[in-house]
Chain A
C-alpha cells in the first residue's frame, strides 16, 4: 500500500516544482516576461563569461604572486607592470615605430615570396612544360628549411634588411606555391569542358573557372604562409636588428627589462592573430559561395 503511494508522490514531484513556476510566469503578463528575459540574459552572459574565468584567475593570481614577491620580476614581471610598460611605450610613440618596422618587413617579405609562389604555382599548374621544367627543382629546394640558410644568408646579405626579407620570402614561398599548384590541378575538368563548350576564351576560362576553382586552396596556402611569416620574422629580428619588435625585446633583455620583453611577445601574438583574422576575412569574402564558409544564420 505504501510503496505505490510513494511512487505516485515522487512522480508528481517534478510537476509540483514546475507547475507553480509556470503558473507564476503565465500569470503576470506585464511584469514577469521582463523577469524571464532578465534570467535568460544572465544565463547567456554566464555562458559567455565562463570561458574567461580561468585566464582571468590566472592573471589575478600572477599579479598577487608578483606583488607578494613570490615571483622575482627578473623571471616574470607583474601583469600591471607589463601594461604600464606597454602604455609608456605607446605614449612615447616608440611602440608604434617598432610595430611599423616589423609589420613592414613581414608584409614586404610576404608580398615578394607569396607573389612569386602564386605566379609560379599558376604557371606550373596551368602549363605542362613549365611543370616538367620547374616542379622537381622546386620540390627539391622545398626540403631545405629556411632557417638552415641563416649562416649563408648572413654571408650573402650581411645582417641587413635584405637578409630578413630573403628569409621571410623563402619561407612563405612554398606553402603558397604548393597550394596554388594543387588548387589549379584540382579544378573540376567537367567545369572547364563546360566553359569551353559555352564559348569562353582562354582568358575568360582562366578568370571565371580556373582561378575561382583554385581559390580555396590558394587561401589555405596563404594561411600557412602567414603563420610561418611571423615565426621567421621573430627569428630574423632576434639575430640582429636596429629596429622592430625583435630589436625592442632583445634590447630590453640586455637591461633585464622583462616587462618590455613581455610586451614584445604579446605584440607578436597580437600581430599573428590579426593576420589570421585577415586571412579568414578573405576566405569569408572570396569563398562566400561555399556552403562551408557561409555564416550560419
Chain B
C-alpha cells in the first residue's frame, strides 16, 4: 500500500479527553468521558439519538466549552475554534448565493484559490464548479461540503452525521470517497453516526456512547478496503448493533414486536 502524503500539513492530530463533562442546566449530556485518539486514526462514534455524541463533537470542534474536564489537541487545551479542525455538518451548509467553487474556497486566501479547484476535482465535481448549490443533488452538495472542509488541509476532520440524509447508494459512494481522501491526506477523523454499518465500514475504532457515557470502545480489525458482504464485517456489525440495542434508551420507545391483528401461533403455522 503506497499512501504518499502529498500535502504540507503533518498528518493528523492526537486527541486526548480526560473526564470531559458537559451539562446543560440540570442535564448532564456527557459524563466523565476519557478517550485517546492517535494521529491519523479514524474513529466512529455511534449511539442512539440524544446520547451525547454530537455534543462530544461540538466540544472537540470548540463550538462549545466543557463544563468540566480536559480536552487536548496535540497536548494543547482546546479553547475555541481551531484552524486545524474542520467540521462537516449533517446539512451541507453551503452558501446558496455562492457558486460551487466559491463555496469550496470560502475563507481561503485568494492566492490559494487554485487549490479549491484541485480539491473539487478530488471529489469528482470539477465540471460543476460554476453551478449554484441549489442545482446540485443532496449527495453532490455533501461532496462540495467535503471539498470545502479538505481545502483547508485540516489535521482533524469532524463529521457530524454528514451522510444521514442521503440514500443508501449515494452513501456507499460517499464512504469510498471519504475513506480514499482520509488515506490520502492522513488527517485524524472523528465521525458521528447512528449507522453502525457506516461506522464499521469506515472506522479503525467504534465508540458507543450511552446516556452520555462511553460504553464501548471496539477496534475494527478488518483490512481495507472493506467489503460489506464479508462474514467478519457482518459479524462485527451485528455484535455492535446488538450491543447498541441491548441498552434501554432513557426515553423508551414503544416496543412493537408483534404484528397487530395476526395471532402469534398463526405465524408459526405459516413458517
Q: Is the CB of A291 within 8 A of B81?
A: no
Asked whether any CB of chain B lies closer than 8 Å to the CB of A151, the reply is no
- Within residues 253 to 297 of chain A, which ones have a CB less than 8 A from any CB in chain B? 287-291
Asked whether any CB of chain B lies closer than 8 Å to the CB of A149, the reply is no
CA distance A273 to B233 in the complex (A): 68
Asked whether any CB of chain B lies closer than 8 Å to the CB of A40, the reply is no
Asked whether any CB of chain B lies closer than 8 Å to the CB of A197, the reply is yes
CA distance A287 to B152 in the complex (A): 28
Q: Is the CB of B132 within 8 A of A195?
A: no
Q: Is the CB of A199 within 8 A of B152?
A: yes
B86 is contacted by which of A191, A198, A290 (Cβ under 8 Å)?
A198
Q: Is the CB of B86 within 8 A of A208?
A: no
Q: Is the CB of A198 within 8 A of B152?
A: yes
CA distance A199 to B91 in the complex (A): 19
CA distance A188 to B91 in the complex (A): 12
A194 is contacted by which of B83, B85, B89, B99 (Cβ under 8 Å)?
B89
Asked whether any CB of chain B lies closer than 8 Å to the CB of A200, the reply is yes
Asked whether any CB of chain B lies closer than 8 Å to the CB of A145, the reply is no
CB within 8 Å of A: which residues of B? 61, 63, 81, 83, 85-87, 89, 91, 93, 95-99, 106-107, 132-135, 148, 152
Task: State whether A190 and B81 are in contact (beta carbons under 8 Å apart), knowing that A195-B106, A197-B61, A199-B152 are contacts in the complex.
Answer: no
Residues in A neighbouring B97, C-beta threshold 8 A: 212-213, 215, 287, 289-290
Q: Using a Cβ–Cβ cut-off of 8 Å, how many residues does chain A contribute to the interface with B? A: 22
Q: A199-B107, A288-B132, A289-B133 are in contact. List 16 more A-B contacts (CB 8 A).
A: A190-B91, A190-B93, A191-B95, A194-B89, A195-B106, A196-B81, A197-B61, A197-B81, A198-B106, A198-B152, A200-B107, A208-B98, A208-B106, A289-B97, A289-B99, A290-B97
Q: How far is the CB of A203 from chain B (nearest CB, A)?
A: 12
Q: Name which residue of chain B comes closest to A288, CB basis.
A: B132
Residues in A neighbouring B132, C-beta threshold 8 A: 288-289
CA distance A191 to B92 in the complex (A): 9
Asked whether any CB of chain B lies closer than 8 Å to the CB of A209, the reply is yes
Q: How far is the CB of B229 from chain A (nearest CB, A)?
A: 37
Q: Is the CB of A193 within 8 A of B63?
A: yes
A-B residue pairs, 8 tightest by C-beta: A194-B93, A212-B97, A198-B107, A289-B97, A199-B107, A289-B132, A291-B134, A200-B107
Residues in B neighbouring A12, C-beta threshold 8 A: none
Which one of A194, A197, A200 has the greatest number of beta carbons of chain B within 10 Å? A197
CA distance A200 to B109 in the complex (A): 11
Q: Is the CB of B148 within 8 A of A289?
A: no
Task: State whether A190 and B89 are in contact (beta carbons under 8 Å apart), knowing that A198-B106, A198-B107, A199-B81 are contacts in the complex.
Answer: yes
CB within 8 Å of B: which residues of A? 188, 190-191, 193-200, 204, 208-209, 212-213, 215, 287-291
Residues in A neighbouring B133, C-beta threshold 8 A: 289
Q: How far is the CB of B123 from chain A (nearest CB, A)?
A: 17
Residues in A neighbouring B83, C-beta threshold 8 A: 199
Q: Is the CB of A204 within 8 A of B107?
A: yes
Q: Is the CB of A289 within 8 A of B96?
A: yes
CA distance A190 to B86 in the complex (A): 15
Q: Is the CB of B96 within 8 A of A290?
A: yes
Q: How far is the CB of B188 from chain A (nearest CB, A)?
A: 16
Q: Is the CB of B96 within 8 A of A198?
A: no
Q: How far is the CB of B116 from chain A (nearest CB, A)?
A: 12
Q: Is the CB of A197 within 8 A of B63?
A: yes
Task: State whether A197 and B134 are in contact (beta carbons under 8 Å apart), knowing that A191-B95, A212-B97 are contacts in the complex.
Answer: no
Q: How far is the CB of B145 from chain A (nearest CB, A)?
A: 9
CA distance A1 to B106 in the complex (A): 81
Q: How far is the CB of B235 from chain A (nearest CB, A)?
A: 38
Q: How far is the CB of A139 from chain B (nearest CB, A)?
A: 30
Q: How far is the CB of B178 from chain A (nearest CB, A)?
A: 19
